[in-house]
Structure 1
Amino acid sequence: PGIDLGVPLEVLQSQASWDHGAYEIAVRLSDATGIHLHASAFSRMWVDLNRAADHPNVVPENSYGAHVPGNTNLSPGDRAARIEVFHAPYWAAVRRDVAARLRDRGEVLHLSSHTFDPALEPKKRTFEVGVLYDTSHPYEAGHAERLLFALKRAGITARANEPYTGVGFAICTSFRKELGARYAGIQLETSHAVTQAPGGCARVADAVLPFLEALSG
């Protein structure tokens, strides 16, 4: 929103502020399939759209270890106003599209594109893409397993529920509880080693596309 949160430029350009390449992957998939795309136009340091409105870090004082001075000592009123203006419309729009699809088709896949920094855990984060999902949710797990297969078939090193779990705080996990058994909320986590490489975002999108096309076919 053009507001200075007191964060250095190098931090604003890091994982603490945004997911490099996540939007590019999502746009490619949306353009190819016609699936509705919802995306943030601002840093997670302003408002984290992947956290529920009542999550303590939805307006973070710290993000990936980086201090956000502009969010320190924020009044409850200012915090609530920021959530109402920047967070609530996004969640309402995604909920509306997901619920409409669920109502019309009886089932829905919500694919959420994110990226991760391998440098944060270099010994563990050696894979290219993670697929996050709830292993105890049969409908969702079935989709996730097919997505993992599609990625691996395309030559991408993919892991289930890495570098994060599929049941942590996120918009997908919130909607999973809200919308039930025929909602699948899967998070696609792509490594910066891929998104920062020439053609990396296209490579991931091209691997995911056959999986999505099979769902609508």
Structure 2
Amino acid sequence: MQKILITCEHGGREIPEAHGHHFHAHQELLETHRGWDIGALELYEKFVAAGADASFFSETSRLLVELNRSLHHPNLFSDITRQTAEVEREAILEAHYHPYRQQVEKTIQTFIAQNHSVLHLSVHSFTPQLNGEIRNADIGLLYDPQRKTEKEFSALWKQEFEKLDPDLKVRFNYPYRGTADGFTTYLRKLFPDEQYGGIELEVNQKYPQCNAGIWENVQQIIVQSFRNAVNVRS
């Protein structure tokens, strides 16, 4: 049996009190797409309400520590926290980074030990424009093309999107590569294709930042298309 795992690594822009003094001059930055994935937590909650076997989210700002990056990645810490003492950076990892990632990894291990496979959906959003470039997509489905499970499910999900709203522009491995450094990429190294499939969902932030009714409708389409794809595949 397949288990559905939903996560949201960039759900908020919270800065723990112990590290707040580093951010006094950066309050406006925290509100931008650099501080959090706008709309992602709201969408994550709708996925969970529609049915998930396990779910985890974080509301700690990515400007404190980037939960979707490996320990060796140069952007694990932001320009703000990279300048702090090593002892403080280690404390941040111990309090926020390791606990989050370990609980997700342990949940996958538990499901697999029970002879289940796992479909992991990691919910994100992206800014409509970056460095002067307009992002040409409404939805991005990020996966590893070498992983049969992920490739087939992403194709199926895109078909379900087209049935519900053919005007939504859904693209594969855009605006980022599905094989770039990330939590799903890390987890693929631990679990084989037949046991684990990791899909990163990227939603254009123009929707959570526009008319509430339009955003609500887009969320319903995203969640329903996912559930339809899961049902077809099972």
**Residue 191 of structure 1 aligns to which amino acid in structure 2?**
N
Shift of 1:153: 2.1
Task: Tell me the residue number matched to 1:54.
Answer: 72
8 A Cα contact 2:161 2:221, kept in partner: no
Task: Tell me the residue number matched to 1:5.
Answer: 22
- CA deviations 1:60-98 (Å, max 9, x no partner) are 21xxxxxx2xx1432222111110111101011100111
8 A Cα contact 1:130 1:160, kept in partner: yes
CA distance in 2, matches of 1:74, 1:106: 42
Is the partner of 2:83 in helix, strand or coil?
coil
Task: Tell me the residue number matched to 2:9.
Answer: none
Q: Does 1:163 align with 2:181?
A: no
CA distance in 2, matches of 1:26, 1:212: 16
8 A Cα contact 1:53 1:83, kept in partner: no
Specify whether residues 17 and 123 from structure 1 end up closer, same or farther in structure 2 by C-alpha distance, changes over 3 A only.
closer
Q: Does 1:77 align with 2:77?
A: no
Structure in which a larger fraction of residues adopt strand: 2
Identity value in percent: 26
Is the partner of 1:131 in helix, strand or coil?
strand
Gaps of 5+ in 1: 62-67
CA distance in 2, matches of 1:9, 1:57: 20
Q: CA RMSD in A?
A: 1.9
Is the partner of 2:175 in helix, strand or coil?
coil
8 A Cα contact 2:50 2:223, kept in partner: no
Shift of 1:208: 2.1
Shift of 1:57: 1.9
8 A Cα contact 1:131 1:187, kept in partner: yes
Q: Does 1:135 align with 2:145?
A: yes
Task: Tell me the residue number matched to 1:150.
Answer: 160
Gaps of 5+ in 2: 1-15
Paired residues, number: 208
Shift of 1:115: 0.2
TM-score normalised per structure 2 = 0.81
Shift of 1:42: 1.1
CA distance in 1, matches of 2:91, 2:56: 21
Is the partner of 2:57 in helix, strand or coil?
coil
Q: Does 1:117 align with 2:127?
A: yes
Specify whether residues 34 and 140 from structure 1 end up closer, same or farther in structure 2 by C-alpha distance, changes over 3 A only.
closer
**Residue 145 of structure 1 aligns to which amino acid in structure 2?**
A
